[in-house]
Structure 1
Amino acid sequence: MESTPLLELDDNVLEIVVKLLNYSSMDLFSEDARKIRQWMIKQPHFPEVMADKKIKNFLILNKGSVEKSKEKIENYYSLRSLLPEIFDNIHPKFSYKENVKASIYFVPLPKLTQKLHRVFFCKMRDPQSAENVEPVDGIRLLVNIQEIRMMEDITYGDVFIFDCKNIPLRWMLKLTPMLLYKSLVVIYKKVFSNRLKAVYVLNAPLYTEKIVLLLKNILKPKLMERIHFCENSDVLMEKIGKEILPVDCGGKAKSLEELQEMLYQKFKEREDYFTQLDKLRLNNDLKPKRLKNDEMFGLCGNFKKLEID
C-alpha cells in the first residue's frame, strides 16, 4: 500500500533544525541520539528500544539535551499507566474516533511555514454531533497525531488555529481545569515538549473569556502572549501564508475535509504501530530506582504554570 503523504518535508529540514539547535555537525547530533539509544538498551524496565527517528525527535524537542530527552522518554512510557482515562482506549480503531471525525476537524497542515513550524487547524464540523464527543477524545486525537509526527515529522515549533464558530457552549464547559492541566502540562510539557509558537483564535464567542481565565492559571505570561484573537483570517495570510492554509480559510491548500480523510487514512496505515503502542508499559518491578517524574501528579490541585519555548 502506498503511504499517505500527510506531512510534507524537504530533504534538508533535518539539517536546518540541527543547525538551529547549535550542533556544529550532523555527526554530533547522531552521536547524541546514539547515546540515548545505548541508555535505553540498559534500562531493564523499558518495554522497548525506540526507533532511531523517534529518539532523534525527542532530542529535537528537548533542544539537543540528552538528559532532558531521557527524562521525557521515561515520562512517555510512565504516562500510559498514570493516565488510564486517556491511554487505555486511545487506539484510533476504537469507536470514539468516529464521533470525533463526524464532529470536529482537527488536522495538521501538510506544508511547513518558512520558520519550519507545523500548523494545526481545528474547526467544528457538525455542532450537533459534538454533543456526543467528550473533550478527552480530542486529547486522544492530539496524542495520536503526535505519535504519527514522532515517526514521520521534523519541525522547529507548532502553530494552532482554532476557528470557534458554532462550538456549543455545553461542550466548552466540559473543559475543566484538571483536563486542561493534564493535556497542556502533563502531556504537552512533560512528554512531547513541543515549542508552541502561536495560537490564533477565530470567531471567538463571548464565553471564550472564561476559558482564557482558566488558561491564565496554567500558562506562563510569555505563553499567554502567543495567543491571538483575530477578527478575521487576514492575519493568518500574513503570518502563515495562502500556500499553507486550507481553502476553508481562504488559502490554496487542500480542504479540511480532504485533510481529515488523509489523516484517518494514515491512522489506518499505522494501525499495527498503534497496536504496539498499546502494549508499552514500564515494568516497575525492574525499575532501578525511583525517578523524579514519579511526582508528576503530586500537585494536589496547585497548578504549576506551563512554559514552552
Structure 2
Amino acid sequence: MSKQYEFTLDEDDKKYLAEHLHESDQSRNEALKEIRNWLIEEKPDLHARLDDKYILPFLRGSKFNLEKTKTKLTNYYVMRRDRSEWFRNRDPTLPELQELVKLGVFVPLKLSSENRLVVIIRTAAHNPKKHKMEDVFKVGKMVLDVAAMTVERTQIYGIVAIFDMDGVGLAHALQLTPSMIKNAVHAWQNYHCKPKQLEFINAPVHVNVMMNVFKSFMSEKLRKRVKVHFKGTDGLYHNVDRSILPPEYGGDGDDMESLIGYWNRTLLSYREWFADDEQYKAE
C-alpha cells in the first residue's frame, strides 16, 4: 500500500499552488491516483516509486499536465538506468564521495530566495587529475535528492543554481565532454525539481565557448534563465538577496564550512535510503 500525502504547507503555498500549478486537494488526489494506476498497469517496467511524495513532485513540475508528467517520469527512470554511473553505489561513506562532499562541490543554503532552494555549485573545487566527473555529478544528485525531500517548497518554487567558476581551468573543461554536458542538461530538464535560475559567477572570459555547448542542449525556456557574471559576484546580487549568501560570497548567511558539515551529516543519515533507492530504475 502506497503512503498518502498530507498537506503541511501554509495558506500562501496553497494559494500559489492553485494559481500557478493548478493544484487543489481534489486535483492532487485525482492526479496521484491516475498516475499511480498508470505506473502499475501500463509502466511496471519503469520500477517507479509509488508513494505520493515521490509522484507529486513530477506532477508539480509539469503543472499537473498528466501527459507531461508521464513523459517526465519515463525520462527520469530511464535516466536512472542509463546513467548508472550517477545512480549506482550511492553510499555516502565511500571515500571518493566523502572527499567531494567535504570539498563543497554542491552545497544548498539553509535560507531561500523567493521560496526557491539556492545551491552553490563550485565547479573547480575538485581536482580533475584525481576526481571523476561522474562522481562529482553523483554527489550533486545525492544532495539534491535529499534537499528536495527535506525542503518540500523546492518542488513547488524550484531551484536557484549558482555555479562558481572561480579557478576553472582547461583540465576542468576537458572533463565536460559534449555528451556529458548533454546528459547533464537532460537531467536538469527531467528532474523532479525545476531549475528557475542558473547564475554563473566568477566566469572567465573564455567561458562563452563552454556555455554555447550547454545552451545548445537546453530548451528555449531554460536558456532564458541563464545569467553569466564576469569579474566576481556583484552581478549576482541583482538576482539573489545578498543577505542569504555565505560570507565567502559577500553575504550574512551560514559560512560554507558549516553548510558543508551539515549536508555531510545529513547525507550520512540517509545511507540506508540511498541503498534502497538504487532499485528504482527502468528495466
Gaps of 5+ in 2: 1-7
User: 1:247 touches 1:254 (CA, 8 Å); kept in 2?
Assistant: yes
1: CA distance, partners of 2:247 / 2:128:
23
1:130-159 CA-partner distances (Å, limit 9, x unpaired): 531222222112221232244223232222
Q: Could you tell me the percent identity over the aligned residues?
A: 23
Per the alignment, residue 78 of structure 2 pairs with: 78
- Assess if the C-alpha contact under 8 Å between 1:130 and 1:171 holds in 2: yes
**2:158 aligned with 1:160:** no
Superposition pairs of residues 245-256 of structure 1, within 5 angstroms: 245-256=245-256
Distance in 2, matches of 1:17 and 1:30, equals: 18
Secondary structure, counterpart of 2:162 in structure 1: strand
- Summarize the Cα distance change of 1:72–1:224 in structure 2 as closer, same or farther, 3 Å threshold: closer
Does the alignment pair 1:210 with 2:202? no
Match of 2:4 in 1: none
Is this contact kept in 2: 1:121–1:161, CA < 8 A?
Answer: yes
Distance 1:208 1:49, change over 3 A: closer
SS of 1:167's equivalent in the other structure is coil
The one-letter amino acid paired with 2:97 is: K
Q: Equivalent residue for 1:106?
A: 106
1:254 CA displacement: 0.7
TM-score (norm 1): 0.77
Matches within 5 A, 1:122-137: 122-123=121-122, 129-137=127-135
Residue in 2 that maps onto 1:292? none
Separation in 2 of the partners of 1:44 and 1:205? Answer: 47
Q: Please tell me whether the aligned partners of residues 49 and 280 of structure 2 are also in contact (alpha carbons under 8 angstroms).
A: no
SS at match of 2:106: strand
Cα contact 2:188–2:195 (8 A) shared by 1: no
Contact 2:128–2:175 under 8 Å retained in 1: no
Structure 1 residues 245 and 271: CA distance shift in structure 2, 3 A: same
Partners in 1 of 2:277 and 2:259 — Cα distance? 24
Structure 2 partner of 1:139: 137
Residue 62 of structure 2 aligns to which amino acid in structure 1? N
User: 1:173-192 maps to which residues of 2 (within 5 A)?
Assistant: 173-185=174-186, 187-189=187-189, 191-192=190-191
Amino acid at match of 2:137: I
Q: 1:112 to 1:154 in 2, by over 3 A?
A: same
What are the superposed Cα offsets for residues 80-128 of structure 1, whole Å, 9 maximum, x if unpaired? 32223333334433333123134443111222222x322111226856x
Moved over 6 A (4+): none
The DSSP-based 3-state class of the residue aligned with 1:243 is: helix
1:229-282 Cα shifts (integer Å, max 9, x gaps):
223433333322133211211111111121111111111111111111112244
Gap change, CA 1:16 and 1:245, over 3 Å in 2:
farther
- 1:19, CA displacement in angstroms? 1.9
Query: What is the rounded CA distance, in whole Å, between the counterparts of 2:143 and 2:102 in structure 1?
Result: 17
AA partner of residue 247 (structure 2): V
The TM-score with structure 2 as length reference comes to 0.83
**Counterpart secondary structure, 2:213:** helix
Given that residues 107 and 263 in structure 1 are in contact (C-alpha distance below 8 angstroms), is that contact kept between their aligned partners in structure 2? yes
Going by fraction, where is helix more abundant, 1 or 2? 2
The 1:122–1:79 alpha-carbon spacing in structure 2 relative to 1, beyond 3 Å, is closer
1:78–1:229 Cα change, 3 Å = closer
Q: Tell me how far 1:25 sits from its aligned partner.
A: 2.9
Residues 57 and 154, structure 1, Cα contact 8 Å, conserved in 2: no
Unaligned runs of 5+ residues in structure 1 are: 1-8, 285-309
